[in-house]
Structure 1
Amino acid sequence: MAITLPDARQLSDEVLDALRLRALRGCELGFTEADVADLLGVSRETVCRWWSAYAAGGVNALPGDRPGRPLGSGRLLSDDHAAVVQQLVRTTVPDDHGIAAPLWTRRAVRELIQQVCGVDLAIRTVGLYLQRWGFAPKRPARRSRDQDPDEVAEWLDEIYPAIAARAADEGAEIHWCDEVGVAADEVPARGYAPEGQPPILDVSGPHVRANQISTITNDGTIRFMTYTQTMTAALFLVFLDRLLRSTTGKLFLIVDRLSAHQTPAVLTWVEAHQDRIEVFLLPRYAPERNPVEYLNHDLKGQVNASGLPHTTSEVRSRIQTFMRKLLHLPEHVMSYFQHPCAQYASAINV
């Protein structure tokens, strides 16, 4: 493997001075200027200029300027324009600028640069700028357009801190709860295949799936229940009853606004057990604020990794196997709270 030398224009003045002396020593030993240039990572013309100056006036006559074109010269965007474009890509979406694109693609950024800077760049050049700025193409995280930023801010700044403070004062455990469904034909990974041919995935004929409801705490505790039917208030109460029987203290349960969580029957049951459990609702359309979502992503990515199941019971068994392993991996469960959207909840009881 060939070694790639750093651009000499990026070297410090002290390193460049040493490089010039080594070039002169190489020429004195009989190496050609081309060989010296190749060894040191500079152009032959640069070595020739150093040798000519040295031959004419000695070491003191060596030029002190840097070789080659100054770094950044020839770029079509000024530093100020580049800073503006980077800030807009970080903080806005294409629709804010009337650009017909759901995400920032090279083509969308090209149109943004045309609007803001009046500069028309090739698509490939836009890609090079994005790479230089530290941007990379990524699969997007989904966020509902119905989400209320003020409601989320209130949850992060006021409601959840109050819940956490109460939990600390009353010795209550905060459990985060959510449901997830796993289908037998669900494979989030990609597979290799010859160019122009998609990989083939053999799946079961009928739609085979199983579901789970689980809770986690930020000290690594986990509780779960698998089921095959649709989540209803009655099924939710079965899980709540099991949850209380598995603990001795008081629970603060944080759930989303699924209708099964808010029926009169559920509210009546919770009120009857208010000495043991209180239920709090997350902001609407903000699943990314629930740490259990990242357990669900982990589950879906792992449960079918060894091959697709054929029956509902097999799907359910794989879910249970995955979750039972997590019972003995509290540090892994705690890692779900390290996602940037869930870190606000990671400091309590850790």
Structure 2
Amino acid sequence: MSGATTYSTYDIRVRAVRAVLDERLPVTVVAKAYGTDRSTVHRWISRYQDEGESGLVRRTVGGRPRKLAQVDQNALQKIVLAPASDYGFETDFWTTRRLIQVFQSEFGVVVSKQTVMRRLHEAGLTYQKPEREYFELSEEQREEWIRTELPKIRRAVRKHRAILYFQDEANVSLTALLGKTWAPRGQTPKQKVTGKRAGVAAMSAITKRGRLIFRLHEKRIASAEVIDFLGQMLKHHPRRHLVVVMDQAPPHTSKATLSFIESQRRLHVFYLPKYSPDWNPDEKVWNHLKHQELKGHQARTKEELKAITDEKLTRMARDPRLLRGIYFRCCISELFD
């Protein structure tokens, strides 16, 4: 596997094992999706088969007495999962430097950055970029959706023997996202990118089996583009009913779009709760495209960006194993087994 290995949480280990044993995804694909190597996944599977899920709990190792012995994993998680502002910091996010200060002030222990990072990893914690969670999000609406809409989606799929798609849109920026690389300390490397502002609008839909349909546009997506894309999906499956789950963006719920949906006998559309992009597996497609496939791209014009985006999405569409791994990473994917 290329790239650095990341530390795993208990939840990640359980998901990875189930992806291999239940979803029958190849170990290589699962290892790549979860940022680890094949031997580690095989070890997790072996422990799971011998001990069940308890075998996936991180094991402690012996050795000399360590600093922060009075701070066990539960105590460390309690600190990190609380807002950093509770400890007098201006913002809620934690850094190793902030934790070093807390350990010194609360426990009178001076520790290194490496010690803090090692203890965080052992506690099943990783350094992550948070996903946006909107102030307007309603957990009550989400629970209501699971009680009412989820059963309707399942019934529609069974009744019509339909293909279930999750659909979403994104804007691909001409300004490339940059990845990390190695360089001499104090000498930040440079990456040439264009300073022009432009983007390509994109639509896609993904299934659990790793099918991907997409379309690119040079203008902002409105009702006409949504209707055109839904029509494209129906043409792609001329004899099948389609169940499409999407968010409640205005182009999805406009009168024109609703009228088109009602006119299509084989099309059954359902909507996710408001402000719930993390519940859409297709959102993971865009995350992978922007942060992996297009990372550091060298497009200088909108036309070049559209061409390279089309090339990358076409390559992804031809790799169902990759797409199944992307789909599986969504937190609600297991609800549709």
TM-score by length of 2: 0.69
1:121 corresponds to which of 97, 109, 125: 109
2:139 corresponds to which of 145, 149, 161: 149
Alpha-carbon deviations, 1:264-285, whole Å to 9, x = none? 2112222222x22122221222
Correspondences of 1:94-113 after superposition (within 5 Å): 94-95=84-85, 100-109=90-99
Say if 1:75 and 1:322 are closer, same or farther in 2 by CA, change over 3 A.
Answer: closer
Alpha-carbon deviations, 1:67-125, whole Å to 9, x = none? xxx967575553xx52542341465433566654322333544576689xx52333538
Q: CA offset at residue 258 of structure 1?
A: 1.6
Q: Check whether the contact 1:101–1:108 (CA below 8 A) recurs between aligned residues.
A: no
Equivalence for 2:127: 138
Separation in structure 1 between the aligned mates of residue 156 and residue 87 of structure 2, nearest angstrom: 44
Separation in structure 2 between the aligned mates of residue 278 and residue 165 of structure 1, nearest angstrom: 11
Q: Check whether the contact 2:178–2:295 (CA below 8 A) recurs between aligned residues.
A: no
Q: Check whether the contact 1:256–1:281 (CA below 8 A) recurs between aligned residues.
A: yes
Question: Does the alignment pair 1:256 with 2:247?
Answer: yes
Q: CA offset at residue 195 of structure 1?
A: 3.3
Equivalence for 1:308: 298
Q: CA offset at residue 311 of structure 1?
A: 1.9
Question: Structure 2: which amino acid aligns with 1:272?
Answer: S
Q: Check whether the contact 2:245–2:270 (CA below 8 A) recurs between aligned residues.
A: yes
Q: CA offset at residue 302 of structure 1?
A: 4.2
Secondary structure, in 3 states, of the residue corresponding to 2:168? strand
Question: Does the alignment pair 1:214 with 2:204?
Answer: yes
Residue identity (%) = 21
Q: Which has the larger radius of gyration?
A: 1
Q: Check whether the contact 2:210–2:327 (CA below 8 A) recurs between aligned residues.
A: no
Q: CA offset at residue 243 of structure 1?
A: 1.8
Question: Does the alignment pair 1:317 with 2:307?
Answer: yes
Separation in structure 1 between the aligned mates of residue 153 and residue 82 of structure 2, nearest angstrom: 32
Secondary structure, in 3 states, of the residue corresponding to 1:178? strand
Question: Does the alignment pair 1:229 with 2:219?
Answer: yes
Equivalence for 1:268: 259
Q: Check whether the contact 1:303–1:322 (CA below 8 A) recurs between aligned residues.
A: yes
Which stretches in structure 2 are left out of the alignment for 5+ residues? 1-61
1:176 corresponds to which of 140, 154, 166: 166
Equivalence for 2:178: 188
Alpha-carbon deviations, 1:141-186, whole Å to 9, x = none? 3131422233334444653244123312321221100112222321
Correspondences of 1:40-59 after superposition (within 5 Å): none
Count of matched residue pairs: 273
Say if 1:199 and 1:269 are closer, same or farther in 2 by CA, change over 3 A.
Answer: same
Equivalence for 2:43: none
What is the aligned-residue RMSD (CA, Å)? 3.1
Equivalence for 1:287: 277
Separation in structure 1 between the aligned mates of residue 88 and residue 296 of structure 2, nearest angstrom: 45
Secondary structure, in 3 states, of the residue corresponding to 2:167? strand
Separation in structure 2 between the aligned mates of residue 132 and residue 180 of structure 1, nearest angstrom: 33
Kindly indicate whether structure 1 or structure 2 has the higher relative contact order, using CA contacts under 8 Å at least 6 residues apart: 2
Equivalence for 1:44: none
Question: Structure 2: which amino acid aligns with 1:134?
Answer: A
Question: Structure 1: which amino acid aligns with 2:262?
Answer: E
Q: CA offset at residue 263 of structure 1?
A: 1.3
Alpha-carbon deviations, 1:276-321, whole Å to 9, x = none? 2122221222212111111112211344358411221221111222
Q: Check whether the contact 1:256–1:287 (CA below 8 A) recurs between aligned residues.
A: yes
Secondary structure, in 3 states, of the residue corresponding to 1:265? helix
Say if 1:123 and 1:281 are closer, same or farther in 2 by CA, change over 3 A.
Answer: farther
Question: Structure 1: which amino acid aligns with 2:323?
Answer: V
Question: Does the alignment pair 1:199 with 2:189?
Answer: yes
Q: CA offset at residue 346 of structure 1?
A: 5.6
Say if 1:276 and 1:172 are closer, same or farther in 2 by CA, change over 3 A.
Answer: same
Q: Check whether the contact 1:86–1:133 (CA below 8 A) recurs between aligned residues.
A: no
Separation in structure 1 between the aligned mates of residue 184 and residue 118 of structure 2, nearest angstrom: 32
Query: After alignment, is 89-98 or 156-165 more displaced?
Result: 89-98
Alpha-carbon deviations, 1:167-212, whole Å to 9, x = none? 1232122110011222232133124444333322323343232121
